[in-house]
Amino acid sequence: MENKERKLVLNTKNTLYISLAFFSILMFWQIYNLYGTYFIDAMLAEVYEERYERAYIVGIIMALDNFFALFMLPIFGVLSDKTTSKYGRRIPYIVLGMFFAALVFPLIAVAYLINSLAGVVIMMLLVLIIMNIYRNPAIALMPDVTPKPLRSKANGIINLIAYIGAILASALFFIFGVDGGILSNQFDSIPNNDLFSLVPFLIVSGIMLVAMIVLFIKVKENQLVEASKEDMEYGEKLSLTIEEIQEDVPLSKEDKRNMILLLFAVFFWFAAFNAIETFISVYSEEVFGDEFWAGLITAILVVFAILSFIPAAILASKIGRKYTITIGLVALVVGFLLAYLINQIHFVFFLGIAIAGIGWALINVNSYPMMVEMSHKNNVGKYTGYYYTSSMLAQSFTPVIAGLVILINKVYDVLLPYAIVLSIASLLVFIFISENKEAVKNIKKGIDVFDVDID
């Protein structure tokens, strides 16, 4: 009787501290994509005069780093599942990873400044290896201490904080650019404006170190796990899976089918979205005449995603994650379609980008919790590895294929149609996932929406 009247309450304060790890990842990733593609393209220009000829090579180089993630994410997911220490299972990987990533990250810009293509590629690979050591543990920490029904809400907060990092990164690109950005007119007297490209890397590294220190001091992982033990057990009874999840017991046939469908859908929507992320700098210069537009496009995409993260989590608690993600996929297709068909009218183009940002929020907030819904509390890292292996496989695949599509068509304007086709593919796969409808009806009885525990 006590359990039936019980309410699960999300500890918002702890969720905010946990989000600092993902904040650093997304901030890093945004700078990495905006600058990395541009650096490589600029240095290849000395050999290949036509930009569309360089696109394919850029795509291959940008995909190489994700190749390591395909192996590392599952390994460090399982490894952190089995780790025991006085600091917890995940924190040692997170803190060490953030520290070394912050030290190495600026060397990408240094290699560009000395005009070393090999140096840029090697530093990009090295920093990605370091990031992939802590990415899985950083993501798995949230479901370790958050009951299943509250994970969309916790993920909404985490994505909200993380995308603030992405906005900050976009602002840095907008201000400093690769040759001084909006500051270039004020600093024409400086002999080498390329030095400005180093500043965002140094700022991001500094912020990562501060975030690492705060997270280490405030997040006592072992204490959180013990404090949330009863809520975690109760949350299992409100799981949206078709059958009950048990440790060392294989998923039911229908839950396994759902997992496979979800992994394919994740692959397709990440392949679509990452194509835009990877080529947005050179796309903006080719289509709009200035790479400055890349920062603006990214900022609009991110701002509207941020505004939608919390509503996306609340919507999922009312209609279920499946239907929320389906709405998000439809929005992604519609947004990209508007941006492609009417890109000469800037208002309509940016409206399409905004709609895509809303769609991405609905997808992003709920898809990872949907995956770890199928995990037991002792193998969250393993299922996190499944999810991110699928997404990283997409991000290895899409720069190469999108670059090839651009090479064949000899224009960057095919980028959005490429993303549209993949978004439609993800929708067609995802709609076949089944959800425990009875659990969706009952789950609202067992949770309080965004109540704050500040004790």
Q: What is the DSSP string of 348-392?
A: HHHHHHHHHHHHHHHHHHHHHHHHHTTS-TT-HHHHHHHHHHHHH
Task: Yes or no: say if 387 and 135 are a contact pair by the CB < 8 Å rule.
Answer: no
Q: Enumerate the β-bridge partners of residue 8.
A: 447
What is the reported pLDDT for 365?
94
DSSP sequence for 221-250: HHHHHHHTHHHHHHHHTT--SSS---TTSP
Amino acid identity, position 446 = G
Q: Which residues fall within 8 angstroms of residue 84, CB to CB, at 6 or more apart?
A: none
Task: Yes or no: say if 103 and 205 are a contact pair by the CB < 8 Å rule.
Answer: yes
* Chain position carrying tokens 């030095």: 195
Task: Show the beta-strand stretches assigned E in 314-431.
Answer: none
Helix, strand, or coil (residue 251): coil
Q: Enumerate the β-bridge partners of residue 447.
A: 8
Which one, of 126, 65, 136, 123, lies nearest residue 395 by Cα? 65
Which one, of 227, 263, 233, lies nearest residue 247 by Cα? 233
Amino acid identity, position 136 = N
What is the reported pLDDT for 427?
97
Amino acid identity, position 226 = E
Low-confidence ranges of the chain (pLDDT < 70): 1-6, 51-52, 64-65, 178-194, 247-248, 291, 343, 437-455
Task: Yes or no: say if 177 and 195 are a contact pair by the CB < 8 Å rule.
Answer: no
Which one, of 120, 90, 96, 125, lies nearest residue 107 by Cα? 120
Residues 15-240+250-434, CATH architecture: Up-down Bundle (1.20)
User: What is the model's pTM?
Assistant: 0.83
Which one, of 12, 266, 355, lies nearest residue 155 by Cα? 12
Burial grade of 342 (CB within 10 A; 0-12, 13-18, 19 or more)? middle
C-alpha 373/C-alpha 70 separation (Å) is 22
Q: Which residues fall within 8 angstroms of residue 105, CB to CB, at 6 or more apart?
A: 28, 127, 201, 204, 205, 208
